[in-house]
Amino acid sequence: MGAAHNNNVLSHLVVATLVVTWIAHETHPSRFLRACLLVQAVTLHGIAMHSPALVQLGHAGFAAAICVGAAILPVPQVWIVRALCILALGTRRKFSGCLFDLVADSRLTRAWHFDVLLCLPLAISCLPR
């Protein structure tokens, strides 16, 4: 699968996440969800402009949002974090690496231990609220 396919897949996933985040924000507005929307917009802009720096900025924002969201989001919003962790693990396996890195032509998070790091917020998100 080529770079255009990776761009397309990541774009669709970010747009879907943006829509879900927007709906969550509309029902329960928060600064955290607004920040997530901004990060998603930066990622989409980076993909559209073929800017590895903006894509990696979105990547860092995604990682931070997953970690923070796992700890602070209430039910049912925490399900977004759970779904994103599972989706990220699945796409890492299918594409043999992180889509953000593939789009940015980077190898920052190709190692297997980043898979483990995605499991931590998933586990934290499952703790009783």
Q: How confident is the model at residue 1 (pLDDT cuts 50, 70, 90)?
A: low
Distance of CA 103 to the CA centre of its chain: 13
| Residue 124: per-residue pLDDT | 97
Q: What is the tens place of the pLDDT at every residue in 46-103?
A: 999 999 999 999 999 999 999 999 999 999 999 999 999 999 999 999 999 999 999 9
| Residue 110: per-residue pLDDT | 84
User: DSSP readout, 79-120?
Assistant: HHHHHHHHHHHHHHHHHTS-HHHHHHT--TT-STHHHHHHHH
DSSP state of 30: -
| Residue 28: per-residue pLDDT | 95
Q: Is the pTM of this model over 0.85?
A: yes
Tokens (6 digits) for 29: 């507005």
Q: Identify the residue whose tokens are 């990682």.
A: 63
Distance CA(19)–CA(114), nearest Å, equals 26
Tokens (6 digits) for 11: 């774009």
| Residue 111: per-residue pLDDT | 87
- For residues 68 and 113, which has the higher predicted lDDT (pLDDT)? 68
Residues 30, 66, 120, 88, CA torsion sign: positive
Q: Which long-range contacts (CB under 8 A, 24 or more apart) does 106-115 make?
A: 106/52, 106/56, 108/56, 108/59, 109/59, 115/89
